[in-house]
Structure 1
Amino acid sequence: MRVRLVTADGVEDRRAEELPALVHGEEGLVWVDIPACDEDAAHALSEVFGFHPLAVRECVERNRVPKMHAYSDHVFVVLHTPERGERGHVHYVELDQFVGRNYLVTVHGPVNPAVPPEAALRETGTVLRRIRAGRLRPSSSWELSHAIVSAMIRTQEEFVETVTKDVWRLEQRVTGGQVGDPEEFLNELFRARHGLLAVRTMGALGAATYGRMQALTGISPAGRPLVADAADRLARVRDLAEGEQEYLHGVIEFYRTVLTIKSTLIGQAQNEEVKRLTEASFAQNEELKKISAWAAIFFAPTFVGTVYGMNFEHMPERHWVAGYPFALALMLLGSVVAYLLFKRRDWL
């Protein structure tokens, strides 16, 4: 837990033991930054500040959506910023705030171990450096909170810018016909879509949260314009992400059309090949029918010749004078009858 006192002269680091006196004093703006809400930090939130047990528990546990709870003397706010992980995964980096009359408590929520530690402290660190450099002199807790929220919004905008670069690169690959592996390309498309959807959700829910906050009566007159500005900028992040998401949807539809056309062309080519093979098979069948027909025609004389070629002793026609002409006539008759039958069936 890091205790700081922000005055018109700058920012001073103070010891945790001084916190009760600083909170109840009028020296300046007290900023307590908690990198991880451990047992000691939770005890300070409960005993020193007297925060509601549910709010303290939400600092210890992970919150998956932005939220806001208004109390009599402070407002509890939960927001997220995106952090890009491996293979397009988007980590939700949580920051909880207690905005009071003369203090601001920032609690960095639990983060995935895959997220670099400096990513969780990025926005508060940026604001602290601005104060130390003299570029920022917040005189109220709402000014300090607005500066931190503005840094979070810039992170969201930069994330949209990064994903937009990926979307343009993907569009160039589609229009240039250099997609490469279709499966991997589809994965890249949907990773970009996932990133835009994640930051759009952060912007939309954050804008709704700060929109509700504008109606609170406990916010100071100087703080109301800052809350309205944060709501407007969060809504802009939502709109930016939605616009890029629509643009990416167009790229996906274009690629889907290309795949459909290619599939149609391949199907047509396959149909032509099937048609060619069918015609070849039909022609082959016709030839086989002709061969079979001629084989049947020549079978009749062969059959008759085979029967009468058997030299058995007791054949009735063996000594018949008209046997030879009869055999020839029978051969011819069988062949003619077979020929006429096959001709009638269009086999010949």
Structure 2
Amino acid sequence: MPRVIVDCAMYRDGRRSQAPKDFSDALDEARAGGDAFVWVGMHEPTEKEFEHVSQEFGLHPLAVEDALGAHQRPKLEVYDDSLFVVLKPVMYDEATDTVTTGELMVFIGDSFVVTVRHGEGAALAAVRHRLEHEPEVLKHGPTAVLYAVSDAVVDHYIEVAAELQSDLEELEAEVFAPNVTDTKNTAARIYGFKRQVLEFRRATSPLLQPMDRLAFGSVPFVHDHAQPFFRDVADHLTKANEYIEGLDRLLSDALAAHLAQMGVRQNDDMRKISAWAAMAAVPTMVAGIYGMNFDHMWELHQRWGYPVLLVIMAVMCLGLHRMFKRRGWL
């Protein structure tokens, strides 16, 4: 088998069994029994590597093109012989405060499941392992796999949203700290955080409509009795979207508060500068009048003219300082 095939197995009555090496034989055997299906998991296949699988399972060319090209929005497409679902798993790196998204495509049809994964995250080994320990769930066939994969992806959305909420609380504490000097870095962090939330929203918001179709509509290759389970996934997805909308609003409020604080600080600085400039203007004015090379000064020939003038300037400066201090300018 190609190296991109991470796992391939046949499941009969909810229990794993060795699948034939040829996909056609495996599919025929699964359909003949009526209680079995084949699950093929792939990671970043090339067009040539995926061609054999797509031909054997009869996958639609448009869905195959989407699965190979990646960079798709979450969606659900119904074709004659298969159902195609695109999910975008989300990963959050606390060290760099970045949200990254992978892509996960799921094909389900008559007695088969094909999953195609792009990116480093969203490995399905844990989902497969959990399902293999729940044969009562797995015996429901491809529908159970689609539910388990969707549930795992959406539940991780909530975990990532909780981590973002924790980091946002730290950022808010920094914004409202009394002595923040590096205002440029704070504003840059807020903008960067908003970009991560936007990336998160691109993964979750478009998935609402596909989950609603699975939860409340009749979709081919999905059992109607699975609708309550997909409704649970849709409910968790709604919760995740509410988390994200709340984060976005809080970030906007934090940015507005930060800009307001910067304006207040600038006003305080301007008042202080104006106060010191006013105090410096007094001796400058007096010195400008009496700074000529006259004899003793103070209306020319008075011996105590200079000392008296210096005292007057000091008194005026102290008076201005006291007035500005009383008004809160200093």
Q: TM-score range with shorter-chain normalisation?
A: 0.7 to 0.9
Aligned counterpart for 2:243 among listed residues 240, 244, 250: 240
Per the TM alignment, residue 30 of structure 1 is displaced from its structure 2 partner at its CA by 1.7
CA distance in 2, matches of 1:13, 1:178: 66
Q: Matched residues, percent identical?
A: 18
Alignment of 1:36-185 (within 5 A): 36-39=44-47, 41-85=49-93, 87-109=96-118, 111=119, 117=120, 119-121=121-123, 124-134=124-134, 137-138=137-138, 139-177=140-178, 179=180, 181-185=182-186
The aligned length equals: 287
**Structure 1 pair 82–55 and aligned structure 2 pair: CA distance change class (3 A):** same
> In 1, distance between residues paired with 2:231 and 2:158?
18
Q: 1:198 to 1:13 in 2, by over 3 A?
A: farther
Aligned residue number for residue 286 of structure 1: 289
TM-superposed CA distance for 1:47, in Å, is 1.1
Distance 1:58 1:230 in 2: 24
Which residue pairs with 2:13 in the alignment? 8
Amino acid corresponding to residue 130 of structure 2 in structure 1: R
Alignment of 1:169-318 (within 5 A): 169-177=170-178, 179=180, 181-212=182-213, 214-218=216-220, 219-288=222-291, 291=294
TM-score (norm 2): 0.76
Q: What is the alpha-carbon distance in structure 2 between the residues aligned to residue 180 and residue 243 of structure 1?
A: 28
Paired residue type of 1:32: V
**C-alpha deviations, 1:251-284, integer Å up to 9, x for none?**
3333222222111101111122222233333222
Superposition RMSD in Å: 2.9
How much does 1:78 deviate?
0.9
1:62 Cα deviation from its structure 2 partner: 1.9
Distance in 1 between residues matched to 2:283 and 2:72, nearest whole Å: 65
C-alpha change, 1:93 and 1:253, in structure 2 (3 Å) is same
Kindly provide the amino acid, as one letter, of the partner of residue 84 in structure 1.
Y
Q: Residues 76 and 166 (structure 1 numbering): CA distance in 2 closer, same or farther, change over 3 Å?
A: same
Could you say if the C-alpha distance between residues 141 and 195 of structure 1 is closer, same or farther in structure 2, counting changes exceeding 3 Å? Answer: same
Q: In the alignment, which residue of structure 2 is the partner of 1:21?
A: 25
Residue segments in structure 2 that go unaligned for 5+ positions in a row = 302-330
Q: 1:254 to 1:135 in 2, by over 3 A?
A: farther
Q: CA deviation at 1:9?
A: 4.9
List alignment gaps of at least 5 residues for structure 1. Answer: 112-116, 299-348
Q: 1:248 to 1:42 in 2, by over 3 A?
A: same
Greater CA deviation, 141-150 or 59-68? Answer: 59-68
Which secondary structure state, in structure 2, belongs to the residue aligned with residue 137 of structure 1? helix
The TM-score, its normalising length taken from structure 1, stands at 0.73
Counterpart-to-counterpart distance in 2, 1:226 and 1:246: 31
